[in-house]
Structure 1
Amino acid sequence: MSKVARIPGYQSKNPKQNRGIIGDREIRFKCSLQNVILDVLRGRPGWTEVPGDGDWDFYWCDREWLHQNYDTMFLHEHQKILHFRNHYELTRKNLMVKNLKRLRKQTEREQGKTEAQSFDFYPTTYELPSEYHIFVEEFKKNLGIIWIMKPAAKSQGKGIFLFRRLKDITDWKKGEYQPLSDQTRDVPETYVVQRYIENPLLIGGRKFDVRVYVLVCSYNPLKVWLYRGGFARFSNTRFSLDSIEDTYVHLTNVAVQKNAPDYDPEKGCKWSTQQLRKYLAAKHGVDKVQKMFKAIDNIIIKSLQSVQKIIINDKHCFEMYGYDVLLDDDLKPWLIEINASPSLTASGKEDYDLKFGLISDLLNVLDLENRLTGKEKRIGGWDLLWDDGPIVADDNMDCTPANGAAVSTPNSYLGCFNDRKKQLREIYLTAQSVKKS
Structure 2
Amino acid sequence: MVVKEAAARTQQLAGLAKSLAQDTGDVVDGVFIWRESHFAFLFVLKRFFASAREIYLLQGTDQHAMALRLFRFLRSGHVPAHHDDPQFKKYFVGQGNNNTLIEQILAERGFTPVPVTEKKKPGAFYLPTFQWAQDHCRLDYSLFATTLKRHKGRPFLVNHCKGIRITEKVGMLASLEQEFGFKNLPAWYPKTLHVLSTNSMKNSEEGLPEAKWVYKPRANNCGRGIELFGSTRALLDFIANEKKTDGIVQLYIERPLLVRGRKFDVRMYLLIARTEPFLSFYCPVGYCRLCVNAYKSNNFDDVTMHLTNQAVQKTLKGMYKETKEDTTWTFEQMEAHLVENGRVEAGFVAREFLPKVKAIMVTLSGIVRQQVLPLVGTFDLFGCDFFLDDQLQLYLLEVNSNPAIYTDTQVLKDIIPTVLREAIDIVDAAHVPTANKPFCDQPWFECLIDESRNFQWDKTGTLPKKRKDLQARELWR
**SS in structure 1 of the partner of residue 424 of structure 2:** helix
Structure 2's unaligned 5+ residue stretches are: 1-81, 119-126, 146-150, 459-477
**8 Å Cα contact 1:126/1:132 also seen in 2:** no
429, 434, 444: which one pairs with 1:381?
Answer: 444
**SS in structure 2 of the partner of residue 347 of structure 1:** coil
**Alignment-derived partner of residue 300 in structure 2:** 244
Change (3 A) 1:302 1:352: same
292, 295, 318: which one pairs with 2:356?
Answer: 295
1:105-157 deviations in Å (ceiling 9; x for gaps): 29x9xxxxxxx67x2111111111x2122122123212212111111111111
Structure 1's unaligned 5+ residue stretches are: 1-20, 109-115, 178-187, 393-437
**8 Å Cα contact 2:282/2:448 also seen in 1:** yes
CA displacement at 1:227 relative to structure 2: 1.8
Cα separation, 1, equivalents of 2:443 and 2:91:
22
Q: How does 1:153-172 map to 2 (within 5 A)?
A: 153-172=219-238
**Letter in structure 2 aligned against 1:341:** N
Cα separation, 2, equivalents of 1:307 and 1:229:
21
**SS in structure 2 of the partner of residue 267 of structure 1:** helix
**Letter in structure 1 aligned against 2:319:** D
**8 Å Cα contact 2:210/2:232 also seen in 1:** no
Matched, 1:46 2:86: no
Change (3 A) 1:220 1:24: closer
**Alignment-derived partner of residue 149 in structure 1:** 215
Cα separation, 1, equivalents of 2:412 and 2:386:
18
**Alignment-derived partner of residue 203 in structure 2:** 137
Matched, 1:30 2:92: yes
Pick 1 or 2: higher relative contact order, CA cutoff 8 A, min separation 6: 1
Q: How does 1:82-101 map to 2 (within 5 A)?
A: 82-87=159-164, 89-101=165-177
Q: How does 1:101-250 map to 2 (within 5 A)?
A: 101-105=177-181, 119-128=186-195, 130-177=196-243, 188-219=244-275, 221-250=277-306
**Letter in structure 1 aligned against 2:134:** D
**Alignment-derived partner of residue 156 in structure 2:** 79
Cα separation, 2, equivalents of 1:226 and 1:157:
24
Matched, 1:255 2:311: yes
**8 Å Cα contact 2:270/2:282 also seen in 1:** yes
CA displacement at 1:317 relative to structure 2: 0.6
114, 132, 135: which one pairs with 1:63?
Answer: 135
RMSD: 2.9
Change (3 A) 1:315 1:281: farther
**Letter in structure 2 aligned against 1:390:** Q
**Alignment-derived partner of residue 48 in structure 2:** none
CA displacement at 1:270 relative to structure 2: 0.5
**Letter in structure 2 aligned against 1:62:** Q
Change (3 A) 1:218 1:234: same
**Alignment-derived partner of residue 420 in structure 1:** none
**Alignment-derived partner of residue 79 in structure 2:** none
Q: Tell me the TM-score normalized by structure 2.
A: 0.67
**Letter in structure 2 aligned against 1:82:** N
**Letter in structure 1 aligned against 2:93:** C
- Structure ID, larger Rg: 2
CA displacement at 1:64 relative to structure 2: 3.8
**Letter in structure 2 aligned against 1:44:** E
**Letter in structure 1 aligned against 2:218:** A
**SS in structure 2 of the partner of residue 156 of structure 1:** coil
Change (3 A) 1:278 1:314: farther
CA displacement at 1:39 relative to structure 2: 4.1
**Alignment-derived partner of residue 276 in structure 1:** 334
**8 Å Cα contact 1:161/1:245 also seen in 2:** no
Change (3 A) 1:166 1:332: closer
**Alignment-derived partner of residue 347 in structure 1:** 408
CA displacement at 1:244 relative to structure 2: 1.7
**Alignment-derived partner of residue 313 in structure 1:** 374
**8 Å Cα contact 1:292/1:332 also seen in 2:** no
**SS in structure 2 of the partner of residue 245 of structure 1:** coil
CA displacement at 1:40 relative to structure 2: 2.9
Q: Whose helix fraction is larger, Structure 1's or Structure 2's? A: 2
Q: Tell me the TM-score normalized by structure 1.
A: 0.72
1:16-46 deviations in Å (ceiling 9; x for gaps): xxxxx83444522111135253343354142
Change (3 A) 1:189 1:24: same
Cα separation, 1, equivalents of 2:419 and 2:366:
24
**SS in structure 1 of the partner of residue 281 of structure 2:** strand
Instruction: Report percent identity of matched pairs.
Output: 23
**SS in structure 2 of the partner of residue 199 of structure 1:** coil
Cα separation, 2, equivalents of 1:380 and 1:364:
12
**8 Å Cα contact 1:254/1:268 also seen in 2:** no
**SS in structure 1 of the partner of residue 166 of structure 2:** helix
Change (3 A) 1:124 1:220: farther
**8 Å Cα contact 1:146/1:195 also seen in 2:** yes
Change (3 A) 1:384 1:207: same
**SS in structure 1 of the partner of residue 369 of structure 2:** coil
Change (3 A) 1:281 1:220: farther
CA displacement at 1:238 relative to structure 2: 1.0
CA displacement at 1:191 relative to structure 2: 1.8
Cα separation, 2, equivalents of 1:366 and 1:242:
46
CA displacement at 1:351 relative to structure 2: 1.5
Cα separation, 1, equivalents of 2:282 and 2:144:
30
**Letter in structure 2 aligned against 1:206:** R
CA displacement at 1:294 relative to structure 2: 1.4
Cα separation, 2, equivalents of 1:303 and 1:82:
18
